[in-house]
Amino acid sequence: MKTVVVTGANGFIGKNLCATLQQQGEYQLLKVTRKTTTEVLYGYLKECDFIFHLAGVNRPQDEKEFFEVNADFTAQLVQILKENNRKVPIVYTSSIQVDRDNPYGQSKKLGEQALLEYAKTGAPVYIYRLTNIYGKWSRPDYNSVVATFCHNIARDLPIKIDNSDAEINLCYIDDVVEEFLRALEGNPTVQGDHCIVPVSHPITVGALADTIRSFKESRNDLFIADMSNPLVKNLYSTYLSFLPEDAFSYPLKMNVDNRGSFTEIIRTPERGQVSVNITKPGITKGNHWHHSKNEKFLVVSGTGVIRFRKVGADEVLEYHVSGDKMETVDIPPGYTHNIENTGDTDLVTIMWANEPYNPEKPDTYFLEV
């Protein structure tokens, strides 16, 4: 079992990495935080097989902290390894700002230089110049514009945009962790001499804000964003992680009458609509047909019968359905159809339609089965 040291274990990246390593259960994990003493650190570095050096600051109250943490602590770590003649592989989280003339970039550059000197001993060193990492457990108003936008928009707070056309490259935390695991197993994605940049996705600041606003609005219009787009999919997951803890649920509009109810759950522009239909005992719903629209019915509770008749024909087809034996029934176009509750309790049916309901083009025509 490999012994793995993670510095900055309580930070955004560290928490996600440690959670993954602990979940796998294949590694002995040694966490280094601000409370870890030099003596304990010394002991960790003498026995570890791999180091994730994630500790760093990017918004300190005093600029000297940039150099104390990003540069001096890295130099201390390297010195301990050299003193013990240890050649331990190291992953280091640097920044694209290393070539910029600012304290943060300068301190990260010094950290890189210390590790590149250490690499001359033969120790594998993997330097990741990260940019705009986002995902669960990131901190708003600190290390992620995505976190700030998600936190504020979820709470109806204003966001500040200086240039909506400015393009940024976003790295998702799960992609970063997956890359780190490849490095841990000796298969990092190397680009250049020690310098690695995980997969990223470009987006303008304005488009980012609009996308996150659409997530909030989806509770009203029920439209779910395109989850086939990896950036949108990951942004949505991140947004949900920033919901206020008293706002995980939201009401839906129930269309209720004496026959039961019909409630839309989800709409998508490319994958159709999902609804739940409740039919009271003895009630029949439907008796209509469609030219092109098609549906799937899944009874999850109660008992009933779904009837079909091809338009222009006399034969009636019957499918008996029950929540005790779940099966999906396809509703093809050109067949008038209905569903009857034949039991003593409510008949609950999950319904999928291949397109969201459009009142201007309903494609629904009354005809008794």
> Do 201 and 323 lie in a common domain?
no
Residue 118 lies in a domain: yes
> Do 172 and 65 lie in a common domain?
yes
Reduced to 3 states, what is the DSSP secondary structure of residue 41? helix
The DSSP secondary structure of 321-368, one letter per residue, reads EETTB--EEEE-TTEEEEEEE-SSS-EEEEEEESS---TTS---EE--
Beta-bridged to residue 51, according to DSSP, are 5, 90
Which pLDDT belongs to residue 56? 81
> Do 50 and 184 lie in a common domain?
yes
> Do 262 and 196 lie in a common domain?
no
Specify the residue for token string 């009630």: 283
Which pLDDT belongs to residue 193? 60
Over the chain, what is the mean pLDDT? Answer: 93
Q: What is the pLDDT of residues 3-52, one digit of tens each?
A: 999 999 999 999 999 999 999 989 999 999 999 999 999 999 999 999 99
> Do 16 and 112 lie in a common domain?
yes
- For the chain, what's the residue count? 369
Cα→Cα distances 321→58, 230, 298, Å: 60, 37, 8
Report the distance separating Cα 153 and Cα 159, nearest Å.
7
Total domains in the fold of the chain:
2
> Do 205 and 259 lie in a common domain?
no
Contacts of 114 (CB under 8 A, 6+ apart): 71, 74, 75, 78
State mean pLDDT over 305-322.
Answer: 98
> Do 154 and 288 lie in a common domain?
no
Backbone angles phi, psi at 350, to 5 degrees: -85, 130
Active site residues: 104
Q: Which domain holds residue 283?
A: 254-366
**Among candidates 95, 78, 11, which has minimal Cα distance to 42?**
78
Residue 310 lies in a domain: yes
Q: With DSSP H G I counted as helix, E B as strand and the rest as coil, what are the percentages for the chain, rounded to 5?
A: 30, 30, 40
Specify the residue for token string 């001499």: 193
Q: What is the pLDDT of residues 73-106, one digit of tens each?
A: 999 999 999 999 999 999 999 888 888 888 878 8
Q: Is the pLDDT of residue 114 over 80?
A: yes
Task: Decide if 3 contacts 30 (C-beta within 8 A).
Answer: yes
Backbone angles phi, psi at 273, to 5 degrees: -130, 140
Cα R_g (the chain), whole angstroms: 28
**Among candidates 270, 208, 203, which has minimal Cα distance to 236?**
208
Report the distance separating Cα 322 and Cα 46, nearest Å.
64
> Do 37 and 148 lie in a common domain?
yes
> Do 46 and 193 lie in a common domain?
yes
Q: Is the pLDDT of residue 247 over 70?
A: yes
Report the distance separating Cα 248 and Cα 252, nearest Å.
13
CATH number reported for the structural domain that contains residue 171 in this entry: 3.40.50.720
Q: What is the pLDDT of residues 184-235, one digit of tens each?
A: 998 888 766 666 777 889 999 999 999 999 999 999 999 999 999 999 999 9
Beta-bridged to residue 202, according to DSSP, are 169
Where are any strands of DSSP class E within 173-235?
Answer: 195-196, 201-204
Tokens of 276: 């739940």
Residue 224 lies in a domain: no
CA angle 283, 284, 290 (to 5 degrees): 155
> Do 168 and 110 lie in a common domain?
yes
CA angle 360, 361, 366 (to 5 degrees): 110
pTM: 0.90
Which of 148-162, 189-203, 314-328, 351-365 bottoms out in mean pLDDT, i.e. has the lowest?
189-203
Asked which of 188, 209, 230 is the last residue of a domain, the reply is: 209
The DSSP secondary structure of 121-143, one letter per residue, reads TT--EEEEEE-SEESTT--TTTT
Residue 77 lies in a domain: yes
Residue 216 lies in a domain: no
Asked which of 209, 239, 268 is the last residue of a domain, the reply is: 209
Spacing of C-alpha 11 from chain mean position: 18
Residue 100 lies in a domain: yes
> Do 189 and 305 lie in a common domain?
no
Q: Is the pLDDT of residue 61 over 70?
A: no
Which pLDDT belongs to residue 64? 72
Report the distance separating Cα 146 and Cα 205, nearest Å.
9
Specify the residue for token string 């940039």: 66
Residue 168 lies in a domain: yes
Report the distance separating Cα 46 and Cα 37, nearest Å.
14
